[in-house]
């Protein structure tokens, strides 16, 4: 009997070992895209990461309802796979000819999330962005592997600048990749390996490839302006949809928010986003960009446009009722004020933010006895209990934590919470990292923040001048937006699970390296000297 059980358990142990090895290989492949010595090696590593991540998801969720549905309908599964491959092939062909389209496609697809059932829960996946990343990686790999001579020809056609130009990995890239590899390693002892696989395959590896693409493609000043213009237009469109939702009292999706609106005195909107807080985060970051344009505007027309857009987006942000988004906007504006006038203003902004949040909590929940744990938990929408549970998990295993992706499962077991949707994260990135990865993970998380702010804040002194260079102004937006995002993750988590964080860091890397070249000018046609007579 014991022998039979041992034999039955052997395939399961082998499968678990293979999946664990696959997660580590995928993370190392993402790291190799930056760290390997030759361009061909980096291209092969990118393809390995690109192919391995969906294989990991399918292998881990093979017995889930969603994958079982595809297995029961192989024709539909094959059709979906062929369609995805066709889209990737078309994108690769287009991006190989026009690499400058990549950042624009990324900005367009950044906020688009599609709800898909994965396992016992549903996830809102960035499927359009994944397709853009896959197409970009295919184009990048083709350029490096099969026809590298095209890079030289493209360089001549673009005035001597190649459309794909790799940069040596800096501190930010190395810190990010160290965090990703560590996360993969710590998934091996996680009590929720499935969630760890999802985070690696859905977020960390694809976004590492996204970072590689955005820091490798050739940027120009015009392209940077176009990207932010697209983001601002999208924000205005989303706000318009939010206004319609508020006027009709009808949300497009998210049954939790719909149910909450039925019992609250206010009505929250989420536009095309699944979550009002993520919607508010996007609006806050765009508003920081508009405020940057306003502070360093050179023309009256730019001031009027920025003020009008800010007014509309502010009205849209109010309808989210996302306190974390309000506070993160204040942090971003305070950072801009510090860069424009005086660094002390940032400290004042932090203090003002704390006061505003405190007043909002006291005014909105004055009838509650906050000395009671239950009242405090209710007034914070359940987040106080999540924070206490996360700190308790950290105290129990302070060095290595409970393993990557384990917060939700361990929290439910320790707090005796039955619903699988009750907790998936602490809603505070710092607490989640501490509980899942311990001091080791906290050190990696701190290294990412220190490297990022060291890069983003370097050489920003000329911003206090009368007319600083435009690339320096764009760097001010990036650092202020990144500060706002970091603050938002302290109240709603989703730091490296948000592609906006990786996109901002990519912009910081590009802008921190050198000034962006001016838009390409058409070459002037000069008369070539006639060949000397040869006597033939």
The pLDDT, as a whole number, for residue 256 is 64
The residue range of the domain holding 108 is 13-170
Domain count, the chain: 1
3 C-beta neighbours (distance < 10 Å), count: 7
Please tell me the distance from the alpha carbon of residue 131 to that of residue 126, in angstroms, as a whole number: 9
Q: What is the pLDDT of residues 28-55, one digit of tens each?
A: 999 999 999 998 999 999 999 999 988 8
404 inside domain: no
Q: How far apart are CA 218 and CA 229, in angstroms?
A: 19
Instruction: Answer yes or no: is 276 within a domain.
Output: no
Residue pointed to by tokens 């004042």: 348
Provide the phi-psi class of 446: left if phi over 0, else alpha when psi is between -120 and 50, else beta: alpha
Asked whether residue 259 is domain-assigned, the answer is no
Closest CA to 120 of 336, 424, 536: 424
Phi-psi region at 430: left, alpha or beta (left = phi > 0; alpha = psi -120 to 50): alpha
Does the residue 37 lie in any domain? yes
Taking every pair of Cα atoms in the chain, the longest distance, rounded to a whole number of angstroms, is 104
CA–CA separation, 42 vs 164, rounded Å?
13
Predicted confidence at residue 358, as pLDDT, reads 55
Question: What is the SS3 assignment for 143-185?
Answer: HHHCCCHHHHHHHHHCCCCCCECCCCCCHHHHHHHHHHHHHHH
pLDDT of residue 394: 92
Angle between helices 276-295 and 470-492 (to 10 degrees): 150
Indicate if the alpha-carbon torsion angle 404, 407, 408, 410 is positive or negative. Answer: positive
Averaged pLDDT of the chain:
80
Q: Which long-range contacts (CB under 8 A, 24 or more apart) does 356-360 make?
A: 356/326, 356/327, 356/330, 357/323, 357/327, 360/323, 360/326
Using alpha carbons, select from 109, 113, 99 the residue that is nearest to residue 213. Answer: 99
**Ranges in the chain, pLDDT < 50:** 1-8, 119, 149, 152, 155-156, 159-160, 360-380, 515, 519-536
Q: Give me 344's structure tokens.
A: 């002390």
User: What pLDDT score was predicted for residue 50?
Assistant: 93
pLDDT, residue 236, reads: 96
């Amino acid at each position: 009997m014991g022998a039979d059980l041992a034999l039955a358990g052997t395939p399961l142990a082998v499968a678990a070992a293979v999946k664990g090895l696959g997660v580590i290989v995928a993370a190392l492949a993402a790291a190799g895209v930056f760290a390997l010595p030759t361009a061909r090696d980096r291209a092969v590593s990118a393809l390995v990461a690109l192919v391995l991540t969906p294989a990991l998801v399918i292998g881990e969720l093979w017995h889930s309802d969603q994958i079982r549905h595809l297995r029961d309908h192989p024709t539909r599964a094959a059709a979906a796979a062929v369609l995805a491959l066709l889209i990737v092939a078309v994108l690769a062909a287009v991006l190989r000819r026009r690499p400058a389209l990549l950042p624009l496609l990324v900005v367009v697809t950044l906020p688009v999330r599609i709800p898909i059932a994965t396992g016992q829960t549903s996830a809102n996946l960035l499927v359009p962005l994944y397709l853009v990343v896959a197409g970009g990686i295919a184009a990048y790999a083709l350029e490096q592997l099969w026809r590298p001579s095209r890079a030289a020809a493209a360089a001549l056609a673009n005035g001597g600048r190649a459309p794909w130009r790799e940069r040596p990995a800096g501190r930010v890239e190395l810190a990010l990749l160290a965090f990703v590899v560590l996360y993969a390693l710590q998934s091996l002892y996680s009590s929720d390996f499935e969630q760890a696989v999802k985070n690696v395959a859905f977020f960390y590896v694809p976004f590492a490839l996204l970072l590689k693409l955005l820091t490798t493609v050739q940027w120009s000043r015009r392209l940077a302006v176009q990207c932010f213009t697209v983001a601002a237009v999208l924000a205005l469109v989303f706000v318009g949809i939010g206004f319609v939702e508020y006027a009709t009292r009808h949300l497009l999706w998210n049954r939790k928010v719909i149910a909450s609106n039925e019992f609250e005195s206010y009505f929250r909107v989420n536009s095309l986003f699944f979550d009002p807080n993520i919607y508010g985060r996007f609006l806050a970051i765009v508003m920081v960009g508009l405020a940057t344009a306003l502070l360093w505007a050179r023309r009256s027309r730019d001031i009027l446009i920025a003020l009008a857009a800010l007014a509309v987006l502010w009205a849209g942000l109010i309808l989210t009722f996302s306190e974390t988004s309000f506070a993160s906007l204040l942090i971003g504006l305070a950072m801009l004020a510090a860069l424009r006038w005086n660094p002390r203003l940032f400290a004042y902004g932090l203090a003002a933010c704390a006061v505003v949040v405190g007043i909002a909590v006291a005014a909105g929940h004055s009838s509650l006895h906050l000395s009671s744990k239950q009242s405090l938990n209710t007034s914070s929408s359940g987040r106080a209990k999540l924070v206490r549970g996360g700190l308790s998990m950290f105290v129990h295993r302070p060095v290595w934590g409970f393993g990557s992706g384990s917060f939700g499962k361990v929290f439910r077991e320790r707090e005796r919470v039955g619903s699988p949707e009750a907790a998936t994260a602490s809603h505070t990135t710092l607490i989640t990292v501490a509980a899942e990865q311990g001091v080791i993970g906290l050190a990696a998380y701190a290294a990412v923040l220190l490297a990022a702010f060291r890069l983003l804040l370097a050489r920003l002194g000329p911003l206090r001048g009368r007319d600083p260079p435009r690339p320096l102004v764009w760097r001010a937006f990036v650092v202020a937006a990144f500060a706002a995002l970091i603050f938002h993750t302290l109240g709603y988590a989703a730091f490296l699970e948000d592609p906006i964080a990786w996109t901002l860091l990519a912009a910081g890397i590009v802008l921190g390296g050198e000034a962006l070249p001016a838009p390409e000018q058409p070459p002037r046609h000069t008369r070539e000297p006639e060949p000397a007579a040869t006597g033939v």
